[in-house]
């Protein structure tokens, strides 16, 4: 029996990605997030872009209320942007796995000191989603 794949079978999916705009440098941002009692922050090894051309600083964060984990990735890496469509976004807030982020996390981030805005980004196109699909 021969299996036939459709384009829908090959399409990658990823939860909503949020953009963070802030003048804070990477270490200061991590410090401000860690000050919030609902988050446990761990500096994570740099994440490489899918093709390995650029390294991006990253934090692994646990939301203590529901024990979910997510990443904050510096958009501007050593050579390229992690999400090139958003040149003016400083950091990316990404779920780990296929679940959407708890909306409370977004509410908390919009109120953190030094964060100008935290907002949902458009769904990545198939070519762009490769950087995010490796985070699963």
Q: Of how many residues is the chain composed?
A: 136
**Pairing status of strand 91-95 against strand 117-120:** unpaired
pLDDT at 50: 74
pLDDT at 7: 44
Rounded to two decimals, what is the model's pTM?
A: 0.83
pLDDT at 10: 46
pLDDT at 3: 56
Q: How far is CA 107 from CA 49, 82, 118, 134, in A?
A: 28, 24, 9, 26
Read off φ and ψ for residue 107, nearest 5 degrees.
-60, -45
pLDDT averaged over 10-residue windows placed end to end, the chain, 136 residues:
50 79 94 96 86 88 93 93 92 88 94 93 75 67
pLDDT at 96: 86
Strand positions, DSSP E, the chain: 18-21, 39-48, 55-63, 68-74, 91-95, 117-120
SS3 state at 46: strand
């Amino acid at each position: 029996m021969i299996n036939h794949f459709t384009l829908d079978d090959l399409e990658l999916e990823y939860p909503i990605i949020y953009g963070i705009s802030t003048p804070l440098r990477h270490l200061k941002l991590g410090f401000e997030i860690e000050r919030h009692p609902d988050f446990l922050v761990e500096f994570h090894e740099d994440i490489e872009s899918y093709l390995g051309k650029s390294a991006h600083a990253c934090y692994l964060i646990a939301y203590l209320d529901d024990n979910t984990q997510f990443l904050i990735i510096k958009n501007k890496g050593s050579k390229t942007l992690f999400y090139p469509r958003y040149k003016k976004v400083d950091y990316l807030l990404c779920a780990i796995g296929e679940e959407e982020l708890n909306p409370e996390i977004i509410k908390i981030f919009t109120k953190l000191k030094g964060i100008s805005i935290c907002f949902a980004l458009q769904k990545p196109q198939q070519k762009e989603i490769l950087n995010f699909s490796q985070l699963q």
